[in-house]
Structure 1
């Protein structure tokens, strides 16, 4: 697995999974369609840097999603509307256990053990998430609502 200092989210990015390195520093395993990278930044840092790269701030994206969806916490983030890069967190983004998943790369989800869910990505990679299937489905629904609302607003302006 290739190591990288920094990473910008793109269309191929499927998930950002937190992982501590041998020195106790929080980094990220980035799952793409065809590659996997070990990045020296935390998932939240990658989200923040990617939002800036595409011309906004992470905080602005979170604030907008809260306003659009009428929810207060763990909102999905539209990293870049033009490229349709929408990710949702599996728990508080401030937690070192938070995984960010791209809605567009999910093939299926399945119950797994008691309070866990298996996320099967379109490239057949599997992620085990510490969350019940119904909760994950709710996050997917909120992400879909954010996508739909933003797309409707963009179409209504043309």
Structure 2
């Protein structure tokens, strides 16, 4: 695998997971990608998350505050990088923990509890990861992210004055008003 630097989350990224390098514990990051080879990065996972937030228009702190404001989820808050493609990620641990892994809800196929407070997450392309977090906690984090996704979608439909029709990002021509409606939810009030 090629090791690269200065990575930004993009379409098709399923997992941002720290791993040990010879220089330091959790010093590198693996990015599992949908139906593509895994990429290994020479930087910590949280740095990639922070850079990706800035790339998509806001700091990590403000993305986290937006989640709290919209959902009330104050512990291990999921974040949305951009509403233009599926980038709702949830953390497995506190963002202050180096072992924290970020998982994109749109690619999760199943979560299975394992022995010794571990869980296995299988993705829609049959890749999987095993994480040192109980299945119960993993499902809780996953459901928090689904709730955030639901609240964003609901608010965007209300804002576009058509609560019965979800925004369709797969259309050949994206309605910029619909996309801006989701971004408007981040406006600090």
Same fold (TM over 0.5): yes
1:32 corresponding residue in structure 2 = 33
Q: Look at both structures and tell me which one has the larger radius of gyration over its CA atoms.
A: 2
1:47 corresponding residue in structure 2 = 49
- CA distance in 2 between partners of 1:61 and 1:143 (Å): 13
Give 1:87 deviation, angstroms: 0.5
Unaligned runs of 5+ in 2: 161-189
Alpha-carbon contact 1:108-1:120 (below 8 Å) kept: yes
Give 1:31 deviation, angstroms: 0.7
Shift >2 Å, 4+ stretches: none
1:84 corresponding residue in structure 2 = 86
Q: Name which structure has the greater RCO, CA cutoff 8 Å, separation 6+.
A: 1
TM score, norm. by length of structure 2: 0.80
- CA distance in 1 between partners of 2:85 and 2:159 (Å): 18
- Measured against aligned partners, the alpha-carbon deviations of 1:23-63 in whole angstroms (never above 9, x if no partner) come to 22612011111121111121111111111111111111101
Alpha-carbon contact 2:8-2:48 (below 8 Å) kept: yes
Give 1:107 deviation, angstroms: 0.9
Residue 124, structure 1, aligned to residue 126, structure 2: yes
Alpha-carbon contact 2:73-2:144 (below 8 Å) kept: no
- Aligned match of 1:143 in 139, 142, 145? 145
1:98 corresponding residue in structure 2 = 100
- CA distance in 1 between partners of 2:19 and 2:135 (Å): 23
TM score, norm. by length of structure 1: 0.94
- CA distance in 1 between partners of 2:106 and 2:60 (Å): 20
Give the 3-state SS of the residue equivalent to 1:119 in structure 2.
strand
Alpha-carbon contact 2:30-2:38 (below 8 Å) kept: yes
Q: State the Cα RMSD in Å.
A: 1.2
Across the two proteins, how many residue pairs are aligned to each other?
Answer: 158
Q: Larger strand proportion, structure 1 or 2?
A: 1
2:168 corresponding residue in structure 1 = none
2:12 corresponding residue in structure 1 = 12
